[in-house]
Chain A
Amino acid sequence: MDYFIELFLSGLTRGSIYALIALGYTMVYGIIGLINFAHGEIYMIGAFTSFIVATTLSIYGFPLAAIVVVAGVAAAIWSSAYGYTVEQIAYKPLRHAPRLAPLISAIGMSILLQNYVLLAQTSDFLPFPKLIPEFAFMEPVAHVIGSSDLVILITTAMIMLALTLLIKFTRIGKAMRATAQDRTMALLVGINVDRVISATFILGSALAAIGGLLIASHIGQINFAIGFIAGIKAFTAAVLGGIGSIPGAVLGSLVLGLTESFATGYVSSDYEDVFAFSLLVLILIFKPSGLLGKADTKKV
């Protein structure tokens, strides 16, 4: 039973890690129906920014709490700037092009950003500072769940709640939903659609940056390629949960994380991905729009 609980908790952590990235995918898809393949790279840039800020600040001996806050804010701002720029350069000019064009453009941006960081920074792995301390009260259960796991779980839950509230109740949230439902109609009733889309990219990128900081601190190392695999898995999770849906992204991520964890624990880690993707195929056969996705009715 202990073993089951341990696997369950490590599955939850892994799922929350996916969720932090999957939220950005699903938001962008929900609004403009674009799979933003560069999102994994925005996460990687967030991790690099927080690495640079955190290492610099720790040289000057700032307290850990201050380092975390400053690094988080800096990473969020810097990543948002990248997310906004990517949208302006690579997606906005293609808004009325066939769906395939922005997709290819997204893959291109992903390769460009990876290689840019490779050239501008380094190809080597860098040791990421431990920004999440080992809490004293966690010591009795440290063999089961670590402090960073706990912080990631709580952060993911809080972000999901905040996003849901933002989308349900605020002005910009309403504008986002209107744009998602019908872009032309939203334009006609006076919503600045371009600004709503930019806001979505900025918000999604900021989330990815926070994810970058937390996940890198959990794993303890970063390099220019971390965004790729994390991005693919998060994308899978978003599809699993129903792409476009915010609770769906979190649910899909948790289901994926738990499946992988139990597959490793009870079968073999050799087959971890086999189980994860078989589950995806099964769910999409019976529920093509994902666990919580709405069926896409064609308007005639």
Chain B
Amino acid sequence: MRTNTLVAAAAIVLAMMLPGCGMAGDAIKLGVAGAHSGDLASYGLPTVNAAKLVVDELNAKGGVNGKKVELLIEDDVCKPEVAANIASKLVSKKVDVVLGHICSGATKSALPIYKDAGIILISPSATSPELTQSGAYPNFFRTIAPDNMQAKPEVDFALNVLGVKKIAVIHDKGDYGKGVAELAKGFIEKSGKGEVVLFEGVTPGAVDYSAIVQKIKQSQADAVIFGGYHPEASKIVSMMRKKRMKTVFLSDDGVKDATFIKVAGKDAEGVYATGPKDNSNNPLFQAAVAAHKKAYNSDPGAFFESAYSATLAILNAIDKAGSTEIGAVTKALQAEKVDTPVGTINFDAHGDAVGVGFAIYQVKNGRFVEVK
């Protein structure tokens, strides 16, 4: 009797352990790294949701190459030093591919570690041009267009559609903000239609931006192009409106976030920002948003569709390649077109997605509306 119970207990334990073992051994490990806490969490968390939705759906259909996909979620708080640690941690956990990182600075610091380990990184949101165009990181792909693709339409719009002549270019001294600002400055000077009257960086988190706003006023700029994120943008815009300045304010997709409108309130009205093209007519996009609403009971946040597409693209490439080996997957990413919420895409030799781009948005009645 007693031995029987023991045997039975052992059998139950074994039975419980076996499927667990089997899954862990065969699974494709997809790392998800980005800002999941801290002041930029609103950029990173939607990517986690996107990855979960795609992976759940694929796993329900039997996984990729007959293997289940397993997520390893890590928080880099958008800080380069943390991102490097996270990268080492994911590599030591034998991750196969990584979705992330979210911020350009963090991505840049993590990339060499993945490169040495032969791991592909696909980012939904890191837009710094050098990540792909320097050619230093053959293991890097992204489903968002790089900054120079948004600085160009931003400047064209300001010069040709709005017809402004004098432009003040302000940035937040960060990798991303300064990158966009420098490109914008270059495009304005090259066009010969406008003049950069001011080019300066502000310190993020400073208590008061009235001095720089006075300087913008003194420079008699018709428009401000700001490279950076929404916390500084909303402080500068509010200060400008407080000083009764009607100067046009244009910015980048670091500002095209619902939090910007929530914080700047009525001062946000009329602000222009570039952001990924509106894909709301794409049925895959509608399906992804509907899945998000069903699972989380809310509208998806920043970069959700880009992250959703990145997850689809990388898992599709692994499926087509039949392995997670870097050479085969890279070839599949470049050769195989895949239908995603941001359109039908593949990747060029640098790692940039072919078929995605930026559009101009304006805040109207508390919402970003695409300017046609």
CA distance A229 to B231 in the complex (A): 14
> Which applies to chain B's interface (DSSP): helix, strand, loop or mixed?
helix
- Nearest neighbor of A11 in chain B, beta-carbon distance: B211
Question: Looking at the complex, which one of A18, A143, A219, A269 makes contact with B201 (CB distance below 8 Å)?
Answer: A269
CA distance A13 to B235 in the complex (A): 15
The reply to whether A269 and B215 form a contact with Cβ atoms under 8 Å apart is yes
> Which applies to chain A's interface (DSSP): helix, strand, loop or mixed?
helix
Question: A residues within 8 A CB of B293?
Answer: none
Cβ proximity bits A258-290 to B, threshold 8 Å, 1 near / 0 not = 001100110011101100000000000000000
The reply to whether A10 and B244 form a contact with Cβ atoms under 8 Å apart is no
The reply to whether A10 and B206 form a contact with Cβ atoms under 8 Å apart is no
The reply to whether A18 and B207 form a contact with Cβ atoms under 8 Å apart is yes
The reply to whether A270 and B238 form a contact with Cβ atoms under 8 Å apart is no
CA distance A149 to B213 in the complex (A): 14
Cβ proximity bits B200-233 to A, threshold 8 Å, 1 near / 0 not = 1111011110111011011000000000001100
The reply to whether A6 and B214 form a contact with Cβ atoms under 8 Å apart is yes
A10-B210, A14-B210 known; A124+B41 contact, CB < 8 A: yes
Q: Is residue B37 within 8 Å, beta carbon to beta carbon, of the partner chain?
A: yes
Question: A residues within 8 A CB of B263?
Answer: 125-127, 220-221
CA distance A241 to B41 in the complex (A): 38
Which residues of A84-137 have CB atoms within 8 Å of chain B's CB atoms? Answer: 118, 123-127
The reply to whether B231 and A221 form a contact with Cβ atoms under 8 Å apart is yes
The reply to whether B207 and A14 form a contact with Cβ atoms under 8 Å apart is yes
The reply to whether B218 and A273 form a contact with Cβ atoms under 8 Å apart is no
Which residues of B172-206 have CB atoms within 8 Å of chain A's CB atoms? Answer: 173, 200-203, 205-206
16 contacts between A and B (CB under 8 A): A3-B214, A17-B208, A118-B38, A124-B39, A124-B259, A125-B39, A127-B264, A143-B243, A220-B238, A221-B235, A223-B231, A225-B39, A229-B206, A261-B211, A268-B200, A272-B206
Q: Which residues of B contact A (CB under 8 A)?
A: 37-39, 41-42, 173, 200-203, 205-208, 210-212, 214-215, 217-218, 230-231, 234-235, 238, 242-245, 259, 262-265
The 5 closest A-B pairs by CB, nearest first: A10-B210, A264-B211, A261-B211, A229-B205, A127-B263
